[in-house]
Chains A and B, each alone.
Chain A
């Protein structure tokens, strides 16, 4: 049973436009959500996170939205840049679990 799902394996957008990456979860105990970015041949790096007590968190061009009732979160990148082309992983953790559960990732391609 996959608890964190990223249903779109890939996404292609034009430079300057908005990129929206989606993530769904099934475990209602998850209370902290994170997005990581991964370039080829490198480890993932933390991008942005959100606690379940919030519905939005913004950091520069990156905004994460959380809809708890729908068990859905999304990452918005505005404006998208070619350097944003990478695999994006959604992750979630439950209180005191000490570990994160990851989705399968979405490969974002931003075309110049």
Chain B
């Protein structure tokens, strides 16, 4: 089974802190994604990556950056956390070029910014 592992289930940070959310997948997937989930707003795409050192902006990239130095790892960075970034963050991965865009998700990180 594909496993997508997010480093933390719960995080509490202060406004202005730099926050790193880590994600690792073990199925050699080319594509990796970061979404956030907020009540009533569904899943919104922050950033995604097709390959190592590649990144593409999603629908809501402002206030975030990403890093993909290795194929299995995709990090989301909040440069200066703000209260409106309190959310559930979900990492996902998928294979490329199959026409089947099925995503495999991690368990999520609930981030609270105080």
Contact = CB atoms under 8 A, between A and B. Distances in A.
Contacts, number: 66
Interface string B30-67: 01010100001111110010100000101000000000
B15 to A, nearest CB: 25
B92 to A, nearest CB: 8
A104 B41 CA distance: 5
Interface string A66-100: 00000000000000000000000101010101111
A102 interface: yes
B101 A34 contact: yes
B101 A100 contact: yes
8 contacts: A32-B99, A34-B103, A43-B106, A44-B105, A45-B105, A93-B101, A98-B50, A102-B42
Contacts of B111: none
B29 to A, nearest CB: 12
A44 B90 contact: yes
Interface in B84-114: 90, 92, 96, 99-108, 110
A102 B38 CA distance: 12
Contacts of A95: 99
B42 A34 contact: no
Interface of A: 6, 9, 32, 34, 36, 41-46, 49, 51, 89, 91, 93, 95, 97-105
B4 interface: yes
Contacts of B99: 32, 51, 95
A107 to B, nearest CB: 10
Contacts of B105: 36, 43-45
Given A46-B102, A46-B104, A93-B101, A98 B43 contact: no
A44 B50 CA distance: 21
